[in-house]
Each structure stands twice: as structure tokens, then as C-alpha cells.
Structure 1
Amino acid sequence: MNSRTVFAVVTVVLFGLGLRLLFGSTSALTSDIAAFYSADSISMALLTTGPVIVLGVCAAAAGVLLSRARVTHVLVGCLILIAVGTAVRAVPSWPVLVAGTLVAAAGIAVANVLGPVLVRVIVQEWSQQGRSENPAVSARRLGLLTGVLTAVISASAGVASGVSVPLAEALDGGWRWVLGLWAVPVVIAALCMALLSRMFARAGSTAVSGAVESQGGSAVLRSPVAWAVTAFMGVQSLMAYSMIAWLPTIYRDRGVDAAAAGLLLTALSLTSVVTALTVPSVATRLPRQSALAVAVVLPTVAGLAGVLSSADSWALLWAVLLGLGQGGQLSLAMTLMNLRAATARDAASLSSMAQTVGYVLAACGPLVCGAVHSVTQRWEPSVLFLLVMTAPMAVAGAVAGRRAFYGVDVRQETGVRGS
């Protein structure tokens, strides 16, 4: 592995890390934020549900930006936006806290869409530089790099959740500074992304040298497989953001201290790395991914059933099961965006649709869970709602895993497809 390849992988790791630190740090410090600003449940929804809504609303901008700039250039802008929005959260002002969170979420929205596209163009660049057009090799590289990206994304929220509370205590209650300090790794990621773009340009890479234009919106909206991928992406995101937003709170309300509750989310996120790393490689080797899609839903079913049982002494096990499911689901959803697309252009279009519609659906998760808890004053009905949602997720995944493609250029595609 040469130095350029290593640097590309490091950049992908730092990029993925910056996409969930915002959510994990907010979740761990929700009680402190609410107490300091005397914020009610509706106001707190701006910090738990508002950013997820922004993910859906702003994801559609990715296609427009890609028609005007390189993938890596757009991502540098996204990371700068995330860093600025994250940093200003240290200012002791509720409007600034909310505005910074939403601004950072806007950057994350576009970056989320471009994640699968970045993976694809890097793999294509490797193929061009290595003069290798073997589809099997490209598919394995696609699966490996997708696994690395999704593993880091999955772990980052848990890292922020687990570290934020002890760090705030070490700073003598300076939790506002902790919220702002999470901008530092994002700044580093932006610098690396800028260097990666420059490195590719100097090498004369055609994989990333120009803008990636997406197809018109009507084409992807008419594709059944695109809708299946979108539904799978949406429901798994609904699960993930509901857990990020409320899992520590559920256990704090059951008497678990703040640090231990935050560490449960850390355990969930770190465990998700296992399936995030392995599922894409398995998926790219299978002719169909339907059975795999159903399989990655099963740990979530078991984990939610455990949380519902109120057997709190087994809370760590339930978190581990939820993590195994979450990592597998997110990594498979991102892999399917490439496997079901004929070209990088089609992958950008499919990713934009899946994450625009998917994150709007995902916003319903934290919102419904919070609203149901407010009405019933119990968490069991909210967890039951999530458990029921695993059924449509499994069905959508089974349909998305069929051997079908979105895009008009399938027969001529010589790049990464994987199945």
C-alpha cells in the first residue's frame, strides 16, 4: 500500500469521524443543556430532531453542488461548515447553540450524500493509477472502503457521547467548551480533504478531476429499486437517530448515572464497527443482498426487545446487539447505493434521493419517541414503536437486495458495481 493510498484512507476515516460528533456530544449533554437554558421538551426538539430534519431538507443540495464542483471540493466546504457550526456551540447563548447546531447539520447533510460517491471515485482513481479494471478487485475495494467509512461514522457518535461527560467534568463543568471542542477533528478532516483533492489533481486523475453530474430527479423517482434503497436507508436512520437521541436519557430516567448512560451509547457505537467493517465486504461478494439485509435487522430486534423488557442489568448486552444491527444496516445501505447504481453519476443521484427522503423519515423517529414519552411518561411505548418499525425495514432491505440497477448505462458500466 503506497503513501497516496494510505493518505486517502486516513482522509476517509477523518471525514467519517466528523459526521456524527455533533449528535453524540449533544445527546450525552442533553440534561445539562436543558437545565442551563431552562429549555422545555419542544425547545430541546430543536437540538434532537431539528438537525435530522435539516439532513433531509439540505441533502438535495448535493446534486446541485456536484454539477458545479469536484466531489472533494464540495466536501471541504461541508467540513468547514460543520466545524464553524460546531465551534460556536461554546457560546453561552441558546439562539447561537441552536443556529450552530443547524448550520453544522446542513454541512453534514450534503457530506452524507457524498460519502458513497467519495468512496466510489477513490476506488476508481486507484484502478486508474494501478491500470487495473478488474471488476472483482474494484468491488472488493469498494466494500472495504465503504466498511471503513461506515465503521467510523457509526463509532463517532459513541466516542463523542462517551468522552463528552468525563471531559466536561474534567473541565469543572465546562460542558459548553466540550460542545465547541468537537470542531477540532473536523478542521483536521477539512485540511486532509483539501490535500487529497490537490493530490488527485496533480496525478491527473479523471475519476475526481471533474464534477459528477447527477441525472434529473424524475428518473430516480421512477425507479422501484431506488425507492427500496431509500426506504431501507430511511428506517435504519430512524432507528439510529432515535437511539442516539434517547438511549442515554432512557437509562438516566431509570436511575443510571450520566456517565454510565453515555457509555452505553459508546458501547453501541463501538460495537457497530464490527458489522460496519464486515457487511460491505460480504455484500460485494454476493449476487443478491436480500438475505443479508434481513440478517442485519435481527440484532436490532433482539436489542430493542431487551430494552423493552426493562432488564437493566443486561443493558450493555442490549447496547451491543443494537450496535451490531446499526453498523450492519448503515454500511449495507451505503453499499447498496453503489451496488444498485450503474455509474458514479447514478450513485450520486440515488444517494441524494435515499438521504433526502430517508432523513426526513428519520426525523420522525426522535420526534415520535419524544412525543410518546411526553404523553405516557414511560419509555416502553416509544421502544415498542421502534420495534414495530423493524418489519418494514427488513422488507425494504429484501427488495433493495435484489439484482436490479438504477441507471440507463448498466450494460456499458465498466467501473465498480459489485454484483
Structure 2
Amino acid sequence: MTPPRSTLLPAVGVILLGANLRPLVVAVSPLLGAIRADTGLSVSTAGLLTTLPVLCFGVLAPLAPRLGRRLGIELTLLLTMVLITAGAAVRLLQPLAALLAGTVLIGAGIAIANVLLPGVIKRDFERRVGLMTGLYTMTLFASPALAAGLSVPLERATGLGWRRVLALWGVLAVAAIIVWLPQTRRRTRVSAADTKAAARPVCGLWRNPLAWAVTCFMGLQAMTFYMVAAWLPTLLADAGMSGVTAGVMLSLSSVVGIAGAFLAPMLAGGAVRTAAIVVAGSVLYVIALGGLLVAPIAGAYLWMSLLGLGQGAAISLALLFIVQRAPDIRHAAQLSSMSQCFGYVLAALGPLALGVVHQATGGWTIPLLLVITVLIPQTLSGVLAARDGHVSGYPDEPPVEGELLAFPSSGRCQGTGPAR
């Protein structure tokens, strides 16, 4: 289904924004050897380059709805791309502090955009939620796969060095700024009273069972994803696979994940059908992890394909639940903030916990069984999140006549009470 002309440019903008939410983080991993050799970074400090952004995703997520209400969602998203561009530029500078500071800027921009983009899909593509969620999530897999696969070849082919190659991925943010800039005109100027009223968040979600189901599914799928992504190459290398091939296997899972990310929200429809996709994705995940236990080398291509499909379906459904379970964009932003704050803090702790278990046991059987165990509550929360209905929340103060209850898009959006 082709979007009408009025939504075509916003659709391209959303896809371009999504294309910037992973590459500048993922591109660090394949270049980490060159970075350490050039700067003398210790292993722990080098780990900060990949851990800091994920921590930013969780810690800064609660700020996103407030910024969106005060500045307007379009302008805030534009500023996230400016932050990402600035972070890419700062990492060009020589001091080690600049490398870490640029990484934090990138993580901050991504954290805010992560939270706000599901609300844009909710508002602008209500009749095409499945399609746009699929395209958006597909981009979340495709762009980092490109960054992981092309960063080292680009460095070797061009001789630019790791700093300039990392900065090249910032060009995507510049392109997003150019395409998204016209969208900032959609928000008209509002009065100071309306701005103050809009700053009051939707409360009550932390006591809502459906909101917690969405939050737990988001958090647990992020945790399992980062646990596997962080240690999969090491697991395969320990089984006898070359380091280069192990990296290719990780990229393969990401490439196949594109299909899972696109198909899951397109196939979802109704509580039972969506719950079945949640379960199917987890089953694929378990088969892949079980295969890695018994035949990590012989069946690697099959296990990576199944793993990618399961991971892609999970993240896509997690984002779809945020959009579907929110009655309006204001609730979508708050639910997105709640679930991603919880989710990415868990995601940052997951790889550390798996590493500790691996070190304590000296093998990969117990760590993989641990991931499979986490998939049980992940599946249960996903089935609960698939139930039809909306989360309920209310402003923390009684609304007044003319109060702005949602992000404005074209003109003032007024309301007389909390969305139900």
C-alpha cells in the first residue's frame, strides 16, 4: 500500500530518522581493535564506547516526552539528529574525552528519538500502523547491519582511518535533518499557558497492568537481544570458528532479522493472532539457542537465520505494542518512555550478567540456558501485551478548558479531559 502524497514525506522522514538510531553505535564494534591500537584504550574503557549509548537509551528516555511537549515533537526530533551529527563530529577530535563525549551526545539523541518515533507513527499513520512499524523496525536492523559490515572495508579501502569512517555514518543524520526540516512547520506557535499545561505528563501508567506487560516485553526482548549480540561471536570462536566468520554470522542474523522485523507487524492482527506470533518468535529463538548448544558450527547458518527471525519479530512487536496500546500520541510517548527506560537499563545489564555466568562456569551451556529462561517471562509478557485494549492514564493535575493534551501537529490540539 503506497502512502498518500500528504504522508509520503513524513514516511520517508520517519525511515531516515530510524536509520540513524543504531549505525553510529554499532560501527564502533568492528573498529574497536583499530581504536584501541591508536589510542591505547584499556578493555574496560573501550567497553564504555558500546555501553554508554545503551545506558543513555534507558536513563534519558524519561526526558523525551517532556521535551516533545515543550518544543513540539517535530522540532525535538530534528534536534535529536543535530545531536547525533554533533556527536559524530566531536568524535573526530583527538582527545580521548572527545571520543567519549561524542558517544554520549549520540546516545542522547538516539534515546530521545527512540521514545518519540512510535508516537509519530501513532499520530500520522494510524491506518498503516503495521506497515510503518515494519518499515521503521526493518530500518533498525538494516542500518546497523550495513555499519557492521562496511566500516572495516571502508577504513581499509579509503585509508581514512577509524575516526573519519565513524564520522561518515553521521552523513545519515544530515540527510535526516534535510528531509525532516519541513515537518517542523507543522507545529504552530502556542501560548505560554498551553505550553505549561502540555508539560504535565500522563500519569498512572506505572500502575496499569497492560502498560507493565508492554514494558516487560520491551525490556526482556532488549535484554535477550543484547545478551546474544554481545557474546555470540565469542561463543562461536570458542567452538572453533574463525573470528572473521563469527562476525559474519552475527551480521547474517541481523540481515535475516530485517525480514522478521518487517513481517511480524504486518501479520499481526487481533489478540490471538498477535499472541501466536509472539510465541512463534520465541520458539524460533529457543530452537536457535538449542542448536548453538548441540551443533554451533555445523548448523551455524540455520541457527543464525532462526535467531534473526526471532529477534526481528520481537523488537518489531515491542514497538507495535507501544503504538497499539496507546489511545493517543501523548500516551504513546509516555508508554514508550516507560518501556524503553526499563528496557535499555536491563539491556545494559544483560551482557554483563551473561559474561559473569560464563566466567564462573567456564562454558556456554549455562549462559545459553539462562537466555532461554529469560525467554519464558518475555513470551508471557508478550502474550499479555497482545490483548486488545488501551492503557489508561491521566494528567497529574485536572485539565482546564483549552488545555493541550497531545502533541500538536497542525494547529492547537485541545482537550477537556484525560484520554481513555
Question: Which residue of 216, 219, 226 maps to 1:234?
Answer: 219
Question: Which residue of 181, 192, 207 maps to 2:168?
Answer: 181
Provide, for residues 298-332 of structure 1, a one-character-per-residue CA deviation record: whole Å limited to 9, x for no partner: 22212222233352243222221111111111111
Give the percent of matched residue pairs that are identical in Structure 1 and Structure 2.
38
Tell me the distance in 2 between the aligned counterparts of 1:82 and 1:296: 32
With the length of structure 2 as denominator, give the TM-score of the two structures. 0.84
Name stretches of at least 5 consecutive residues in structure 1 with no aligned partner.
125-137, 205-209, 410-419
2:316 aligns with: 331
Letter in 2 for 1:181: L
Q: 2:72·2:187 contact (CA, 8 Å) conserved in 1? A: no
1:384 aligns with: 369
Question: Which residue of 328, 343, 356 maps to 2:328?
Answer: 343
2:76 aligns with: 74
Tell me the distance in 2 between the aligned counterparts of 1:365 and 1:346: 28
Letter in 2 for 1:223: N
Measured after TM superposition, the shift of residue 366 of structure 1 is 2.0
Tell me the distance in 2 between the aligned counterparts of 1:211 and 1:284: 38
Question: Which residue of 350, 356, 363 maps to 2:348?
Answer: 363
1:298 aligns with: 283
Q: 1:146·1:335 contact (CA, 8 Å) conserved in 2? A: yes
Secondary structure of 1:49 counterpart: helix
How many aligned positions are there? Answer: 389
Provide, for residues 257-297 of structure 1, a one-character-per-residue CA deviation record: whole Å limited to 9, x for no partner: 55433332322222112121121122245566323222222
105-114 vs 297-306, which deviates more?
A: 297-306
User: Cα–Cα, structure 1 residues 304 and 93, in superposed 2: closer, same or farther, change >3 Å?
Assistant: farther
Query: What is the correspondence of 1:148-227 to structure 2 with a 5 Å cutoff?
Result: 148-172=135-159, 174-198=161-185, 200=186, 213=198, 216=201, 218-227=203-212
Secondary structure of 2:299 counterpart: helix
2:87 aligns with: 85
User: Cα–Cα, structure 1 residues 38 and 394, in superposed 2: closer, same or farther, change >3 Å?
Assistant: same
Q: 2:137·2:315 contact (CA, 8 Å) conserved in 1? A: yes
2:16 aligns with: 14
User: Cα–Cα, structure 1 residues 186 and 241, in superposed 2: closer, same or farther, change >3 Å?
Assistant: farther
CA-atom RMSD in angstroms:
2.8
Tell me the distance in 1 between the aligned counterparts of 2:64 and 2:54: 16
1:26 aligns with: 28
Measured after TM superposition, the shift of residue 376 of structure 1 is 5.1
Measured after TM superposition, the shift of residue 107 of structure 1 is 1.0
Alignment of 1:57 onto 2:59: yes
Q: 2:271·2:388 contact (CA, 8 Å) conserved in 1? A: no
Query: What is the correspondence of 1:391-410 to structure 2 with a 5 Å cutoff?
Result: 391-407=376-392
Provide, for residues 136-183 of structure 1, a one-character-per-residue CA deviation record: whole Å limited to 9, x for no partner: xx2xx1111111101101222211111112112213482232222111
Measured after TM superposition, the shift of residue 247 of structure 1 is 3.0
Tell me the distance in 2 between the aligned counterparts of 1:106 and 1:160: 19
Query: What is the correspondence of 1:94-109 to structure 2 with a 5 Å cutoff?
Result: 94-109=96-111
Name stretches of at least 5 consecutive residues in structure 2 with no aligned partner.
190-194, 395-420
With the length of structure 1 as denominator, give the TM-score of the two structures. 0.84
Letter in 2 for 1:106: A
User: Cα–Cα, structure 1 residues 320 and 212, in superposed 2: closer, same or farther, change >3 Å?
Assistant: farther
Tell me the distance in 2 between the aligned counterparts of 1:374 and 1:33: 26
Q: 1:89·1:97 contact (CA, 8 Å) conserved in 2? A: yes
Provide, for residues 209-248 of structure 1, a one-character-per-residue CA deviation record: whole Å limited to 9, x for no partner: x999586464111101111110100011112223443334
Letter in 2 for 1:389: V
